[in-house]
Amino acid sequence: MNRILLTIVASIFPILSVYAKGPTGLGSLQIGMSKSAVENLQVTNGVHLTSAMTPYDYKNTPPSPGEEIFDTFISTPLDSKPLKAVLTFKNSILISISLTINPSTNTLEKVKNQIKEKYGTGEIDDSRKEEQCIYKNGANFKIMSGSVYTTWIEELSQTEQIKTTLIDVYIETSPSNLRTDRTDPIKIQSLIFRKVKNIVEDQPRNIF
């Protein structure tokens, strides 16, 4: 009986272990593709570049050795207009895709729902806080600011993983006085796929 049970368990766990836990790219644009393969994506692929890749303007930190970063625009089924993108290659292999989402559309919800449907809810880090603005005459109203980071991780090996992060930043400010109209909130939305090292914490030596 025990042998039969062990056989059943052994047959199930290899199947479960191959279940994907996160995306590895967007449609035909996948982490791990060569630079030439990315450039040669066609309209029939569903996801493709709509403009030539141009060198990224390094304003702060220069790229790591072997890395090349490019600006471009990408056509996807998620939005009727191409999305602004930053692609990072290392030794001519795609390791990062960063897409800017137009916050005036429902693209972020589309992305969230499609990824959630296939890979689950992911890990959510919600730092949004509600604050109350109070004026000298007693008038008051509430504002909301903060960000929501939703992350999915697909393990490639014991040392590498692809981290997919959906970012939704919302910043609302109160006017200096009640005679001033409230300004529109600042909204920043993006979707990032990146191949990263899998950090494994050293286990403490058992002294017992």
Q: Concatenated DSSP letters for the chain? A: -HHHHHHHHHHHHHHHHTS--S-SEETTEETT-BHHHHHT--GGGSSEESS--EE---SSSPPPTTEEEEEEEEE-TT-SSPEEEEEEEETTEEEEEEEEE-TTSSHHHHHHHHHHHHH-S-EEEE--EEEEEE-TTS-EEEEEEEEEEEEEEEE-SSSEEEEEEEEEEEE----SSTTSPPPPPEEEEEEEEEEEE---PPPPP---
More confident residue, 30 or 201: 30
Average pLDDT over the chain reads 84
Q: What is the pLDDT of residue 107?
A: 95
For 30-77, the pLDDT digits (tens) are 999 999 999 999 999 999 999 999 999 887 777 788 999 999 999 999
Average pLDDT over residues 130-153: 80
Q: What is the pLDDT of residue 33?
A: 97
Average pLDDT over residues 25-29: 95
Residue 21 in this model has a pLDDT that exceeds 60: yes
Model pTM score:
0.79
Say which range, 86-95, 119-128, 170-179, has the weakest mean pLDDT. 170-179
More confident residue, 144 or 127: 127
Q: What is the pLDDT of residue 179?
A: 60
Domain ranges for the chain, please list them: 22-197
Q: What is the pLDDT of residue 202?
A: 56
Say which range, 15-29, 32-46, 101-115, 187-201, has the weakest mean pLDDT. 15-29
For 73-121, the pLDDT digits (tens) are 999 999 999 999 999 999 999 999 999 999 999 999 999 999 999 999 9
